[in-house]
Amino acid sequence: MATDAAKNKSSDDPVLQWVTFRLDGETYGINVMQVQEVLRYSEIAPVPGAPSYVLGIINLRGNVVTVIDTRHRFNLSSGEITDNTRIVIIETDRHVIGILVDSVAEVVYLRQSEMEIAPNVGNEESAKFIQGVCHKNNELLILIDLNKLLTSEEWSELEDV
């Protein structure tokens, strides 16, 4: 009986794992299921004519992966490359890209009920990237919806890159 109740609760309020990373002093989370791997910073080859949010490309075991300037995408000020800088390889809608972050922190477990819808005030397009917020370990996590990180037109642009 107790097991059934626990199962019901689990299905009603699923636990999701989020990879957290730091960017401009704040902590962000992305769904662990969309993270392929985390790389140390390596040289990124710039691509002439690429969109402004594209830093360039890297060679990942023979595959070319486009790296996105996450700070630029989130309208944050640009930062310096440090020893903690990482490239997170993510997979969304059959596309594989890398996002540059200041550092990768940990994997946290969050219940669906712990997530809170974030406000959307203003006219910035980037606000739609935010899936929600959650208070965990005495800090606020900003949860990112990677599927909305780029529009379909922008994905097409990346394919051309």
Partner 1 sequence: MTKQKDSGDSIKPPDDSLNNYFDDLLGGEDLLEQAFNAMDERPMPVAAGAGSARVVALPTKKNLDEKPKKPVLRAEPTSKLAPQAMATFAEPEAIQSLEQKRKLEKLLQSARTELLVDVPVATQVSTETKTQFVSDPDEIQEWDVEGLIDEVLTVGANSEVPIVAEQTQHEDIPQAGHFQIQGLEWLENGRPQWAQSRFDVLLFKVSGLTLAVPLISLGQIQPLTDELTPLFGQADWFMGFQPTAAGKIRTVNTAKFVMPERYDPHFLETAKYVMSINGVPWGLAVDSVNQPITLMPEDVKWRGDRSKRPWLAGTVKDHMCALLDIPRIGQILIEADKNFTP
103 contacts partner 1 (rule: CB under 8 A): no
Best CA proximity match to 137, nearest among 56, 5, 29, 11: 29
Of the candidate residues 12, 91, 135, 151, the single one contacting partner 1 (CB under 8 A):
135
Q: Residues 142, 108, 34, 46: is their CA dihedral positive or negative?
A: positive
Q: Is 120 helix (H, G, I), strand (E, B) or coil?
A: coil
Tokens of 55: 């830093």
Q: Which of 45, 107, 125, 151 binds partner 1 (CB under 8 A)?
A: 125
Is 121 a binder of partner 1 (CB under 8 A)? yes
Q: Tell which one of 122, 152, 159, 160 touches partner 1 (CB under 8 A).
A: 122
The CA radius of gyration of the chain, in Å to the nearest whole number, is: 17
Task: Kindly identify the residues of this chain, within the stretch 32-91, that bind partner 1 according to CB under 8 A.
Answer: 74-76
Counting contacts by CB under 8 A, is residue 140 touching partner 1?
A: yes
